[in-house]
Amino acid sequence: MKKNIIYNEDMLKGIDKIDDNSIDLIVADPPYGLGKDYGNNSDKLKYKEHLEWNYRWIDAVIPKLKTSGSFYIFLTWQYSPEIFSYIKTKMEMLNEIIWDRRVPSMGGSTRKFSSVHDTIGFFAKDRKKYYFDLDSIRIPYDEATKKARTRSIFVGKKWLELGYNPKDIWSISRIHAQAPEREKHPTQKPLKILDRIIKSSCPKNGLVFDPFMGTGTTAISAIKNDRNYIGFELNKEYSLLIENRIKKTKQELNYNLFL
């Protein structure tokens, strides 16, 4: 099986290219069923059809995970209850993570509360054996907090020096139009989120699988964090965009080696 490759095809047609029990981490950001334009009709299925399509690809990817593997899936609240319930019949659910996109307070809905979050499901194939490295993603305490905890009962506490658990609400800004990271894609996810997922749930030199690569952020994070990647992207333009991002990232990393 090849590694560090992205196939420009429908993942359901190409899934046999990936060996069973070979993947350390699956990160999936499928179409949300909200009618977004991805250059095809993948996000324009009706409610029942959208759920059935999700169930098909989920069934196809789970066998690819190692026993120690994990599965993260980005969803919107409109479909997360049904899809989470379905995955829970096959895997252990560890967290429902709320991604607060830090949407500005101006404007928004006038007949209901404005939606400002995405939902991320975190699942494990085996609750006792899945890989998870909390120390790699701890958030450092500020100096004032450290000073306030200098009493003897805190001396030598690992968590005080390394930082705290990010918990299950992630307040990370969406990628604004003017951000250097921004690509021409309607639902691009921030690199900071993928870094947190990959560092915590895939060992060094492990293999990350993304069935819907989009702009390739999963691959970029894998490269920057010394992991391998494999995935699919249906849209030819996005596939070319990913190739350019990967090339640019590798050039930057090689440059940094000589600084």
* Per-residue model confidence as pLDDT tens digits over 212-257: 999 999 999 999 999 999 999 999 999 999 999 999 999 999 867 6
Alpha-carbon distance 163 to 168, whole Å? 15
Give the C-alpha separation, 189 to 97, whole Å: 15
Taken in order of first residue, the domains within the chain and their CATH numbers are: 5-137+166-257 (3.40.50.150)
pLDDT confidence of 258, banded at 50, 70, 90? low
- Specify the pLDDT at position 154: 67
Residues 6+ apart with CB under 8 A from 162: 135, 138, 140
For position 257, what pLDDT does the model report? 65
Cβ partners under 8 Å of residue 223, min gap 6: 229, 246, 249, 250, 253
Mean of the per-residue pLDDT values of the chain: 92
pLDDT band at residue 151, thresholds of 50, 70 and 90? low
Q: Percentage of residues in the chain with pLDDT exceeding 70? A: 94
pLDDT in tens, 170-189: 999 998 888 888 888 888 99
Q: What integer is the mean pLDDT of 203-218?
A: 97
Q: What is the pLDDT of residue 37?
A: 85
The reported pTM is 0.93
Q: What is the DSSP letter of 249?
A: H
Distance of CA 207 to the CA centre of its chain: 14
